[in-house]
């Protein structure tokens, strides 16, 4: 694993204060951070009281290594586990609160070799857990045109999905993020090419979701996590795009053990967005386990 300074991974926790307040952190409580990432949310929870405990999980080894450094001061109060939150063995009625931040960390976007961003040249990777074999290059170069169009439309909500898929199949193989982004840009009309968001944005989102099987993982997590809460324990989930937010909303609403506390999702205030632009699309939903 590459050497990495802890602060490289650390990012300001999105909606940090709102998450902390919504979990109603209590002394002696045990909390699960299902996506510890840079450790920002866990740090706020641990600082709340000297006897609060955290179980911190993440599937990314860089994230876990960084969180271990950032949370080292809290010693034995933190237990680290490398796991995808869907594969984690949830203990029944254990946690006073559960937090999951579904966003891609700034670290992933700013570390070119991970292949999440089209702004800097890198190999088409996008694996959160680098123990798995499927990469974005495999999807782009091996899947057929109809499959590609389908995932761009379904997971990227990309309305020019067919046109983009056709261009990709004509021009492949692709080896780098920038090659792919360029091909996408030239497959769309000029007004779309120079619009507010880069035309590759939705395709890259779709690829990331597929490579990491994110929606299936979220579905599994949402079905298991509520049973791990103690009565009156709370679950807080931050999502960054409408597909995830819809799943969280419906799962909370349809659960037989949860009571929804957020009729509408909590969103970032302008003040936070100025400091941290990625907070703009964040939506926080909270539910409580019935007693």
- What pLDDT does 24 receive? 94
- What pLDDT does 141 receive? 98
| β-bridge pairing 53-58 and 30-33 | parallel
pLDDT digits (tens, 9 = 90+) for 62-89: 889 989 999 999 999 999 999 999 999 9
Distances (CA, A) of 67 to 26, 72, 111, 205, 228: 22, 8, 17, 25, 23
- What pLDDT does 11 receive? 56
Q: Beta-carbon neighbour count of residue 260 at 10 Å?
A: 13
- Please state, in angstroms and rounded to a whole number, the distance separating the CA atoms of residues 153 and 159: 6
Backbone angles phi, psi at 107, to 5 degrees: -55, -45
Q: Is the pLDDT of residue 51 over 60?
A: yes
The conformation of residue 111, written as its DSSP 8-state character, comes to: -
- What pLDDT does 124 receive? 96
Q: 202-223: b or e for each residue (b if 16 or more CB lie within 10 Å)? A: bbbbbbbbbbbbbeebbebbbe
- Please state, in angstroms and rounded to a whole number, the distance separating the CA atoms of residues 45 and 26: 9
pLDDT digits (tens, 9 = 90+) for 136-191: 999 999 999 999 999 999 999 999 999 999 999 999 999 999 999 999 999 999 88
Q: Is the pLDDT of residue 7 over 50?
A: no
Distances (CA, A) of 8 to 31, 211, 234: 25, 24, 30
- What pLDDT does 6 receive? 40
pLDDT digits (tens, 9 = 90+) for 226-274: 999 999 999 999 999 999 999 999 999 999 999 999 999 999 999 998 9
Provide, rounded to the nearest whole percent, the portion of the chain with pLDDT above 70: 95
pLDDT digits (tens, 9 = 90+) for 91-104: 999 999 999 999 77
Which residue in this structure is represented by tokens 């929870």?
Answer: 45
In 38-197, the DSSP E strands lie at 53-58, 78-82, 95-101
Q: Is the pLDDT of residue 9 over 60?
A: no
pLDDT digits (tens, 9 = 90+) for 210-230: 999 999 999 999 999 999 999
pLDDT digits (tens, 9 = 90+) for 272-282: 989 888 888 99
- What pLDDT does 108 receive? 74
- Please state, in angstroms and rounded to a whole number, the distance separating the CA atoms of residues 10 and 266: 23
- Please state, in angstroms and rounded to a whole number, the distance separating the CA atoms of residues 253 and 126: 32
What's the gap between Cα 288 and its chain centre?
22
């Amino acid at each position: 694993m590459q050497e990495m300074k802890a602060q490289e991974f650390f990012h300001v926790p999105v909606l940090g204060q709102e998450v902390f307040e919504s979990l109603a952190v209590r002394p002696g409580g045990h909390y699960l951070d299902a996506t510890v990432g840079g450790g920002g949310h866990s740090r706020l929870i641990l600082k709340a009281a000297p006897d609060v405990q955290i179980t911190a999980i993440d599937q990314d080894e860089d994230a876990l290594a960084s969180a271990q450094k950032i949370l080292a001061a809290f010693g034995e109060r933190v237990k680290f586990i490398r796991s995808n939150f869907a594969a984690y063995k949830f203990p029944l009625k254990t946690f006073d609160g559960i937090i999951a931040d579904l966003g891609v960390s700034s670290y992933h976007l700013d570390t070119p070799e991970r292949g999440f961003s089209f702004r800097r040249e890198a190999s088409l990777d996008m694996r959160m857990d680098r123990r798995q074999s499927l990469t974005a290059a495999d999807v782009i170069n091996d899947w057929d045109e109809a499959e590609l169009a389908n995932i761009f439309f379904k997971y990227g909500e990309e309305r020019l999905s067919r046109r983009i898929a056709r261009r990709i199949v004509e021009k492949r193989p692709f080896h780098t993020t920038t090659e792919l982004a360029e091909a996408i840009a030239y497959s769309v009309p000029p007004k779309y090419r120079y619009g507010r968001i880069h035309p590759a944005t939705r395709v890259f989102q779709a690829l990331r979701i597929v490579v990491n099987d994110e929606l299936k993982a979220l579905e599994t997590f949402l079905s298991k996590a509520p049973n791990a809460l103690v009565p009156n324990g709370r679950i807080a989930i931050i999502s960054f795009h409408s597909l995830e937010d819809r799943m969280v909303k419906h799962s909370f609403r349809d659960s037989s053990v949860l009571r929804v506390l957020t009729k509408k999702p909590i969103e970032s205030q302008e003040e936070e967005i100025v400091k941290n632009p990625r907070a703009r699309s964040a939506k926080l939903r909270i539910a409580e386990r019935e007693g």
